[in-house]
Amino acid sequence: MAGLELLSDQGYRLDGRKATELRKVQARMGVFAQADGSAYLEQGNTKALAVVYGPHEVRGARSRSRHDRAMINCQYSMATFSTAERKRRPHGDRKSTEMSLHLKQTFEAAVMTQLYPRSQIDIFVKILQSDGGNYSVCVNAATLAMIDAGIPMRDYVCACTVGFVDETPLADLCYAEEGGGVSSLALALLPRGGQIALLQMDARLHQDHLEALMEAAMTACKGVSKVLDEVVRLHLQEVSVLSAE
């Protein structure tokens, strides 16, 4: 059985994009009133909801609190209806735990936690529909939610997955591409300074190709940041118009 041809000779991918093109990103901030911050983000057919509470005092075990900075608590989950086949995912799913940990590390690097000692910030992310690039969509959604909540960050955190096919880096993989035996790399970037918040890869890749792949990932992340910035500005405009009235 022949595998799918991920990149045609004409340079088109399965869904008609070129190698460097991102999926369509649409987002809204402030979708819930009761949380401190919230955002809904679609990247292609992957849809995620992010909610932020805090900063507030540490709940539960006091011992976890840090005297010099805020603690970040992340929880990632997928809706049972998010994939083609319905599947119940009780908490403690290994993949979700790992993803939660990754999100936590990402945001610890971006949020200015030292401003809120002995407090806690909660980030909850839910994937409503999954079509590849779950991690990066979660990061992007959570960034918007953080901004909505007004928590100071060093920069937007923008994430993107890239894959490597036929000596060409592909930006923003969809589910079919992720499953097609591509070695993929996830990168979370603070675009203005070009600092890397998280870099994750669990496939084999020749060392020579890594640089090209990183380069593509950074470009893609910067593209995402532009979109997010527009969303934030638009939201601010709406909010300021409302408050002016």
Partner 1 sequence: MIKTERVLHLKSCRGRKVRVVREHYLRERVPCYSALCAAGCDNRDGKVLPGDLTHYVVPDVGVVVDYLEVLEVRELQGIVFTQTACQALQHAKGRRQYNRLRNLLKDPRHDCVLFTNEFQEYSYCPREKGESQDQWQTRCVYSAAVWYYNHLAGMKDVVMITEDREAVAQYGSLNSGVYVISVRDFLLNFWPELQAAHELYSSVSLALQEKESEVSEREYAEHLPAEVLEAGIKSGRYIQGTLNISKHRAHSEASITAEGLSNKNSDLSWGVLVSGAKNRNRAVHGDVVAVELLPRSEWRGKDTALTEGRGEEAGGEDGGRKPMPTGRVVGVLQRNWRDYVVTFPPREGPPPQSRNSQRILAVPWDHRIPKIRISTQQADALQDHRVVVRIDSWESTSLYPNGHSVRVLGRAGELETEVQTVLIENCIHVPPFSDAQLKEMPVNCPERPWAVDPAQVAQRRDLRDSHLVFSIDPPGCEDVDDALSVRSLAGGARLELGVHIADVTHFVAEGSLTDLEARTRATTYYLADRRYDMLPAVLSADLCSLLGGVDRYAMSVMWELDAQTLSVVRVWYGRTLIRSSYQLHYQLAQALLDGEPAEVPELAGLGSEERGGELARLTGALETLTRVARNLRAQRNRGGALELEGVEVRAQLDEERNITALVPRQPLEVHETVAECMIYANHWVARKIQESFPHQALLRRHPPPRQEFFSQLVDTAAARGFSVDTRTNKALADSLDRAEDPRDPLVNRLLRIMATTAMSQALYFSTGLQAQDQFYHYGLALDRYTHFTSPIRRYADILVHRLLAAAIAVDRGSDPGGAVASNKELEETARHINTKNRAAQRAQKSSTELFQCLYFKDRDPQSDQRCVADAVVYSIRDNGVLVFVPEYGVKGPVYMKNREGEVAAVGQDGRCTWQSGAVQRHSDRITTTSGCGSATFRLFDHITVRISVRSTHCHADALVLDLVVNGPHRRAAEPSAPPPRSQGRSSQLVREVVRQAEEASQQAQEKEARRPELSREEREFSQTKTPNLYSLLEEVRELALLDPDGVSRLCASTA
Nearer residue to partner 1 within complex by CB, 43 or 225: 43
Contact between 138 and 76 (Cβ < 8 Å): yes
Out of 21, 93, 108, 178, the residue judged to bind partner 1 by CB under 8 A: 21
Q: Which stretch binds partner 1 (CB under 8 A): 14-22, 88-96, 99-107, 210-218?
A: 14-22
Q: Which stretch binds partner 1 (CB under 8 A): 10-18, 115-123, 137-145, 211-219?
A: 10-18
Runs of H (alpha helix) within 132-191: 134-149, 175-179
Q: List the interface residues with partner 1, window 85-104 (CB under 8 A).
A: 85
Residue 171: beta bridge partners?
Answer: 162
CA 64-69-155 angle, 5° bins: 125
- Mask of contacts with partner 1, 158-177, x by CB under 8 A? ---------x------x-x-
Residue 211 binding partner 1, by CB under 8 A: no
Residue 61 binding partner 1, by CB under 8 A: no
Distances (CA, A) of 73 to 108, 120, 145: 10, 7, 14
DSSP string, 167-195: TEEEES--HHHHHTT-EEEEEEEETTTTE
Q: List the interface residues with partner 1, window 117-146 (CB under 8 A).
A: 131
Runs of H (alpha helix) within the chain: 94-110, 134-149, 175-179, 207-244
Residues of the shown chain interacting with partner 1 in the complex, contacts defined by CB under 8 A = 1-2, 5, 8-10, 12, 14-17, 21, 23-24, 44-45, 84-85, 131, 167, 174, 176
